[in-house]
C-alpha cells in the first residue's frame, strides 16, 4: 500500500509513518497491540491463548517490534504474553517437517540457512536496536521452549512468581546460538550459563531475581498493572529525556550483541547443517524413518516440556 506523502513545518516532503491500526491488523494472528496515552502494549498470543513458537511467530516478533519502534506515537513499549504461560510450546510438527525435508533433500539446507540468518539475528536485535523508547518485558508465566531473550533484553523485566525459563537447544541436538544462551551469559554469568545451557535445567523466578535477570517478581495478575504504573511514571518526564535515558541503558547490551551474536548464530546454523547432513546419511544407509535421531530429540524435548508443566 503506497504511503501518503506529507510535508513538515519547513515544507519538505516525507512519507507518513505506518499507524498502529495498520500493523496491529497485519499481525493480529500473533499479537494484540494497543496504545493508551503513549504507552503501547504488545500481547503475544496464539488463538488468543498462550503463544506457541512457530516459524510464523519467530518472524512476527521482530517485525512487530520494528514497526512499533518506528511509530512516533509510541513513547513506552510493554511486551507481554497471554494466559498462564509465556510460551506454551513449540510447534513441534512444523519443526519435524523441516527436519524431515532437509534429511530427504540436504540441498534445501542452503535456502533454509539464508532465511535463518536474518531471522535469528533480528529476534535478539529488534528490542535493542529497533526501538528507541523505554521497554518493559513481562514474563507472565513459564516458557516451555525459548525466546526469553526478547524479554530480558528489555530495559526492565517483570516476572510472574511461578514462572521459569530454560534453554532447550542442547537437549534438542542444537548448539544454543539464537541469543537465549548469550542472554544467560550476560545476566547470570558464564559459569552459570554453561550449566543451564548443558543441562536445560529450570531457572525459576527467585533465581532470576537474585541473579539480576529480572527486576521484580509478582503474582501474574499484578504484572501488567505494575508495568503500566512504571510506564506512567516514565511519561512524567519529557520525551527527549526518556529517549536519551533508554539509549544510555541499552548501550552495554547493544555492545554485547554486536560483539558475539553473529558468532552464536553461526554456531547454531553450522551445527544444524551438520545434523541435517548426518540425518541424510542415515537415510541413505537405510535407517528407518527420514530423521530418527532428530525425531527422538524433538520427542524428548516435548516430553520434558510436558513434565515441567505438571
Q: How confident is the model at residue 293 (pLDDT cuts 50, 70, 90)?
A: very low
For residues 229 and 156, give the distance between their C-alpha atoms in angstroms, rounded to a whole number: 13
Mean pLDDT of the chain: 86
Beta bridge partners, 139, equal 159
The cell numbers describing 305, all together, are 516440556
205-216 pLDDT tens trace: 999 999 999 999
Is the per-residue pLDDT at 300 higher than 60? no
**Residues in Cβ contact with 17 at an 8 Å cutoff, skipping those fewer than 6 apart:** 70, 71, 72
Q: How confident is the model at residue 103 (pLDDT cuts 50, 70, 90)?
A: low
171-197 pLDDT tens trace: 878 889 889 999 999 999 999 999 999
109-137 pLDDT tens trace: 667 666 777 888 898 899 999 999 999 99
Which residue bears the cell 551474536?
A: 261
Please report the pLDDT score of residue 178 as a whole number: 84
171 to 20, 142, 275, 308: CA distances (angstroms) = 39, 18, 14, 14
For residues 96 and 101, give the distance between their C-alpha atoms in angstroms, rounded to a whole number: 8
Q: Check: CB of residue 124 under 8 Å from CB of residue 179.
A: yes
Please report the pLDDT score of residue 172 as a whole number: 78
Q: Check: CB of residue 31 under 8 Å from CB of residue 20.
A: no
For residues 240 and 256, give the distance between their C-alpha atoms in angstroms, rounded to a whole number: 25
Which residue bears the cell 536485535?
A: 125
Q: pLDDT exceeding 90 applies to what percent of the chain?
A: 61
The cell numbers describing 214, all together, are 529480572
**∠ CA(253), CA(255), CA(260), 5° rounding?**
100
Amino acid at each position: 500500500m503506497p504511503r501518503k506523502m506529507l510535508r513538515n513545518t519547513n515544507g519538505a516532503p516525507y512519507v507518513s509513518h505506518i499507524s498502529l491500526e495498520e500493523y496491529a491488523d497485519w499481525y493480529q494472528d500473533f499479537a494484540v497491540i494497543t496504545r493508551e496515552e503513549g504507552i503501547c502494549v504488545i500481547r503475544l498470543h496464539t488463538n488468543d491463548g498462550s503463544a506457541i513458537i512457530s516459524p510464523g511467530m519467530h518472524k512476527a516478533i521482530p517485525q512487530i517490534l520494528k514497526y512499533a519502534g518506528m511509530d512516533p506515537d509510541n513513547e513506552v513499549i510493554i511486551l507481554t504474553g497471554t494466559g498462564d504461560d509465556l510460551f506454551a510450546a513449540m510447534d513441534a510438527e512444523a519443526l519435524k517437517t523441516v527436519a524431515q525435508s532437509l534429511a530427504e533433500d540436504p540441498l534445501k539446507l542452503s535456502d533454509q540457512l539464508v532465511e535463518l540468518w536474518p531471522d535469528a539475528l533480528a529476534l535478539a536485535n529488534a528490542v535493542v536496536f529497533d526501538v528507541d523508547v523505554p521497554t518493559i518485558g513481562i514474563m507472565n508465566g513459564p516458557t516451555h521452549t525459548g525466546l526469553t531473550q526478547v524479554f530480558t533484553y528489555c530495559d526492565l523485566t517483570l516476572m510472574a512468581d511461578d514462572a521459569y525459563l530454560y534453554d532447550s537447544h542442547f537437549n534438542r541436538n542444537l548448539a544454543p546460538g539464537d541469543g537465549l544462551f548469550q542472554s544467560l551469559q550476560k545476566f547470570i554469568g558464564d559459569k552459570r550459563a554453561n550449566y543451564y545451557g548443558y543441562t536445560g535445567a529450570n531457572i525459576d523466578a527467585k533465581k532470576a531475581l537474585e541473579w539480576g535477570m529480572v527486576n521484580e517478581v509478582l503474582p501474574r495478575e499484578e504484572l501488567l498493572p505494575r508495568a503500566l504504573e512504571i510506564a506512567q511514571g516514565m511519561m512524567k518526564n519529557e520525551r527527549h529525556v526518556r529517549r536519551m535515558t533508554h539509549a544510555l541503558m541499552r548501550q552495554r547490551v547493544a555492545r554485547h550483541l554486536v560483539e558475539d551474536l553473529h558468532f552464536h548464530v553461526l554456531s547454531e546454523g553450522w551445527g544444524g547443517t551438520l545434523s541435517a547432513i548426518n540425518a541424510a546419511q542415515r537415510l541413505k544407509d537405510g535407517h528407518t524413518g527420514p530423521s530418527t535421531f532428530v525425531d527422538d530429540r524433538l520427542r524428548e524435548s516435548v516430553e520434558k516440556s510436558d513434565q515441567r508443566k505438571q
